[in-house]
């Protein structure tokens, strides 16, 4: 098994060899890092036309909806973290999908009361949450941008209209989704040829999505949430366009669910780590809290004189402890009393840190008691421990900054690769399956409820030093998003790697499991680094790749460095504006 894995890795490394140069660019202008060159070019076009980072981020995101439609798009939702240079503050724009009015804790239960199989629940109208992306873009542009939809959607409309060449990564994900897309006539027509994924090298155009973007450009946010586009989403969810003989569970979505959808402006989670200020995403994402908590646990240790393996051991164990609490306590704060103060307390972190020994915990750890560290002790909830619910490894993240110093860290998604698999008839975009991010059986803080936002792991993060931006990072990858952002921060701050090296390094994801997930795409299994950690009791479970991060470093000399992936997700794109 190991020999086969190593051979597969060697073959992949050779195949990717020509592309393996890491996208890194440094300069004095605005910067962008995304997983798609088309999307980075769209952001640059807007920056060069005088737009700011918020305008450019929406342009890049809309283009990713064309070139990376299986990971993200207007049929989904996300979390945007904005650093406003003139206000010197960070704002979180939560445009997570919301459950429709018809939802209740029993929606994902079988007739006998057992939880539905997660994979079986995904490709249905039932899994579709009210999309938040267009509302989020609208809020970001009107409050912090300088341009309107007409300008920022123009590059994406062009790419959708003219088309782009299908690459190996698009094809890989398309292939993985053949069965899902075969369920729906609209998805089969857009993403399959003779029941197979679109071939590498073919030109893929999406004129229906171009027209939907044009409708939004002309009619604004209302054109999406009211009127014909909204009506076609309601019809697609309640009467999915299933191919003959395919059984699909419909949802129950109304025009009012769409019209009433709101993005929420939230305070970021704010914490400190070894002299840095870490700003992350609050609930309904668990990302900001889990990263802050894990870093607080790590801060309990003096790292001077510690080897790389010893520091990585602490990272893995701190992540394990943070995930035990994340799984037990964090959900949409509008529905659950999340013990924020306790979870973010340095004293609580020191207590949790005492559980870490010189060797890996033999398996899952119990959640702690953050309530003892709340000033308000009136919330005596003691949930039973739960295993990590299933979450997909998909989504996308982008980073943009501009000459004025504004920064956008933006993660958005349609949840699983290909979302629910339902392409809205005549509109050219896939609907999400975000509601499968709820825990299926009660009692649990993250149980399905009407108007609730399912818990997320998305972790757009902005890091300040002495009050000024130091770097920003984020990634896709379901619950591995948290560990990717966390490990990159540890690599950069504690192991002293450049942000580019921190991002490219092999990833290890410990989420309170018996084993730690590692990648076969990079030469980690069998390496000296792996053996050093194995000697401390760490055991591995392998997956091909973890995450696809993007980041920007704000350097002491006034330059910025945009960094993206050399290999993962086919490699990304990083560009700094030239004068
Ligand atoms: N669906 C992935 C996340 O929200 O974290």
Q: Is the separation of the CB atoms in 34 and 64 below 8 Å? A: yes
Give the pLDDT score at 391: 60
Of 1 and 553, the one with more pLDDT: 553
Measured from the Cα of 481, ligand 1's closest atom is: 5
68 Cβ below 6 A of ligand 1? no
How many structural domains are present in the chain? 1
pLDDT above 90: residue 448: yes
Our mutation pick for probing the ligand 1 site, out of 94, 390, 413, 548, counting the most ligand atoms within 8 A of Cβ, is 413
pLDDT value at 380 more than 60? no
394 Cα–ligand 1 center, Å: 8
| pLDDT for the residue 117 | 97
Tell me if 94 CB under 6 Å of ligand 1: no
CA of 269 to the centre of ligand 1 (A): 18
Average pLDDT over residues 116-122: 97
Q: Would you name the residues annotated as active-site residues?
A: 395
Backbone angles phi, psi at 158, to 5 degrees: -65, -45
Q: What is the pLDDT of residue 21?
A: 84
Host domain of residue 289: 1-374+382-579
0.85 exceeded by the pTM? yes
Residues 408-440: pLDDT tens digits? 999 999 999 999 999 999 999 999 999 999 999
The rounded Cα 115 to chain-centroid distance in angstroms is 25
Is residue 34 in contact with ligand 1, taking CB distance under 6 Å?
Answer: no
Ligand 1 mean position, distance from CA 432 (Å): 11
Residue 284 alpha carbon to ligand 1 centre in Å:
10
The pLDDT assigned to 443 comes to 86
Q: How confident is the model at residue 402 (pLDDT cuts 50, 70, 90)?
A: very high
3-state DSSP: the chain helix, strand, coil percent, rounded to 5?
35, 20, 45
Q: Judge if the beta carbon of residue 478 lies within 6 A of ligand 1.
A: yes
Q: Is the CB of 154 under 6 A from ligand 1?
A: no
pLDDT greater than 50 at residue 12: no
Find out whether the beta carbon of 416 lies less than 6 Å from any atom of ligand 1.
no
How sure is the predictor about 376, in pLDDT bands with cuts at 50, 70 and 90? low
- Alpha carbon nearest to ligand 1 atom 2, residue: 478
Kindly tell me if the per-residue pLDDT of 393 is higher than 70.
no
Q: Using CA atoms, how far apart are residues 333 and 384, in angstroms rounded to an integer?
A: 19
Mutate to test the pocket of ligand 1, among 129, 478, 483, 511 (most ligand atoms within 8 A of CB): 478
The confidence score (pLDDT) of residue 525 equals 86
pLDDT bracket for residue 16 (50, 70, 90): very low
For ligand 1, say whether the CB of 432 is within 6 Å of any of its atoms: no
pLDDT at 377: 53
Mean pLDDT lowest for which of 12-26, 364-378, 497-511, 550-564?
Answer: 12-26
Give the three-class secondary structure for 559: coil
* Ligand 1 contact via 456 beta carbon (within 6 Å): yes
C-alpha 129 to ligand 1 mean position (Å):
12
Can you tell me the distance from the alpha carbon of 132 to that of 141, in angstroms, rounded to the nearest whole number? 14
Q: What is the mean pLDDT of residues 199-225?
A: 98
Please choose from 78, 118, 390, 391 the residue to mutate so as to test ligand 1's pocket, defined by most ligand atoms within 8 A of CB: 391
pLDDT, one tens digit per residue, over 21-33 is 899 999 999 999 9
Residue-wise pLDDT for 278-304, tens only, equals 999 999 999 999 999 999 999 999 999
Helices 154-162, 37-48: crossing angle, 10 deg rounding = 140
Distances (CA, A) of 507 to 191, 490, 555: 31, 12, 25
CA of 548 to the centre of ligand 1 (A): 14
Quick one: tokens of 23?
A: 């996208």
- Average pLDDT of the segment spanning 253-266: 98
Q: Ligand 1 in contact with 457 (CB < 6 A)?
A: yes
* Nearest ligand 1 atom, CA 394: 2
DSSP result, 290-342:
HHHHHHHHHHTS--TT--HHHHHHHHHHHHHHHHHHHHHH-S-TTTS---HHH
Residue 401 Cα to chain centre, angstroms: 19
- Give the closest residue to 133 by CA, choosing from 472, 398, 426, 432: 432
Q: Whose CA is nearest to atom 3 of ligand 1?
A: 456
| Nearest ligand 1 atom to alpha carbon 457 | 5
Question: Which atom of ligand 1 lies at the shortest distance from residue 416's CA?
Answer: 1
Q: For residue 499, what pLDDT is reported?
A: 98
Mutate which of 70, 397, 452, 457 to test ligand 1's pocket (most atoms within 8 Å of Cβ)? 457
| 82 within ligand 1 shell (Cβ under 6 A) | no
Residue 483 scores a pLDDT above 70: yes
Chain centroid, CA 158 distance in Å: 26
Average pLDDT, the chain: 94
Q: Does 575 sit in the ligand 1 pocket, CB within 6 Å? A: no
Q: Average pLDDT in the 446-469 region?
A: 97
Q: What's the gap between Cα 279 and its chain centre? A: 16
- How many angstroms does the Cα of residue 482 sit away from the middle of ligand 1? 10
CA 413 to ligand 1 center in whole angstroms: 7
Scanning 192-286, the segments in alpha helix (DSSP H) are: 207-219, 221-225, 228-238, 255-259
Give 223 Cα–ligand 1 centroid separation in angstroms. 26
Per-residue model confidence (pLDDT) at position 13: 43
CA nearest ligand 1 atom 1, residue: 415
Check pocket membership of 415 for ligand 1, CB cut-off 6 A. Answer: yes
Distance between CA 415 and CA 121 in Å, rounded?
13
Lowest model confidence (mean pLDDT) among 102-106, 387-391, 507-511: 387-391
């Amino acid at each position: 098994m190991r020999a086969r894995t190593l051979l597969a890795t060697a073959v992949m490394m050779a195949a990717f060899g020509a592309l393996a140069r890491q996208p890194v660019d440094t300069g004095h202008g605005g910067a962008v890092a995304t997983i798609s060159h088309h999307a980075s070019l769209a952001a640059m076009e807007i920056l060069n036309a005088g737009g700011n980072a918020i305008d450019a981020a929406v342009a890049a995101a809309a283009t990713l909806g064309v070139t990376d439609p299986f990971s993200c798009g207007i049929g989904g939702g996300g979390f945007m973290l904005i650093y406003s240079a003139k206000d010197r503050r960070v704002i979180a724009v939560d445009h997570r999908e919301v459950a429709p009015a018809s939802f209740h804790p029993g929606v994902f239960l079988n007739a006998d009361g057992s939880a539905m199989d997660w994979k079986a629940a995904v490709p249905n109208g039932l899994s579709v949450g009210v999309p938040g992306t267009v509302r989020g873009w609208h809020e970001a542009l009107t409050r912090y941008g300088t341009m309107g939809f007409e300008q920022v959607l123009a590059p994406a409309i062009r790419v959708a209209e003219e088309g782009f060449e299908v690459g190996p990564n698009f094809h890989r994900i398309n292939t993985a989704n053949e069965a899902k897309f075969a369920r729906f006539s609209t998805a089969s027509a857009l993403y399959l040829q003779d029941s197979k994924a679109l071939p590498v090298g073919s030109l893929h155009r999406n004129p229906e999505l171009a027209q939907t973007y044009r409708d939004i450009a002309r009619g604004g946010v209302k054109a999406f949430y009211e009127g014909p586009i909204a009506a076609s989403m309601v019809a697609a969810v309640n009467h999915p366009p299933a191919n003959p003989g395919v059984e699909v569970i419909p949802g129950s979505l109304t025009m009012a669910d769409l019209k009433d959808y709101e993005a929420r402006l939230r305070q970021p989670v704010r914490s400190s780590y070894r002299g840095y200020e870490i700003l992350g995403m609050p609930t309904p994402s668990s990302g900001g809290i889990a990263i802050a908590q894990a870093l607080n646990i790590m801060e309990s240790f003096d790292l001077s004189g510690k080897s790389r393996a010893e520091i990585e051991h602490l990272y893995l164990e701190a992540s394990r402890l943070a995930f035990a609490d994340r799984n037990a306590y964090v959900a949409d704060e509008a529905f659950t009393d999340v013990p924020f103060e306790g979870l973010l307390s340095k004293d609580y972190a020191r207590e949790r840190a005492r559980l870490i020994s010189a060797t890996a915990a033999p398996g899952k750890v119990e959640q702690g008691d953050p309530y003892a560290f709340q000033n308000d002790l009136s919330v005596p909830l003691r949930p039973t421990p739960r295993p990590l619910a299933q979450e997909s490894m998909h989504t996308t993240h982008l980073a943009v900054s501009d000459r004025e110093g504004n920064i956008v860290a933006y993660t958005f998604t349609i949840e699983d690769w290909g979302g629910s698999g339902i392409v809205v008839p005549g509109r050219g975009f896939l609907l999400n399956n975000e509601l499968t991010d709820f825990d299926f059986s009660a009692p649990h803080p993250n149980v399905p409820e009407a108007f609730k936002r399912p818990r997320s792991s998305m972790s757009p993060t902005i890091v300040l030093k002495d009050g000024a931006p130091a770097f920003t990072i984020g990634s896709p990858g379901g619950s591995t998003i948290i560990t990717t952002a966390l490990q990159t921060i540890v690599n950069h701050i504690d192991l002293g790697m450049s942000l580019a090296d921190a991002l490219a390094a092999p990833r290890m994801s410990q989420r309170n499991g018996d084993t730690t997930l590692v990648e076969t795409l990079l030469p980690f299994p069998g390496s000296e680094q792996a053996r050093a950690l194995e000697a401390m009791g760490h055991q591995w479970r392998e997956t091909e790749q973890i995450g696809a991060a993007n980041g920007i470093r704000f350097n002491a000399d006034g330059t910025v460095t945009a960094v993206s992936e050399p290999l993962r997700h086919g490699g990304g794109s990083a560009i700094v504006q030239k004068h």
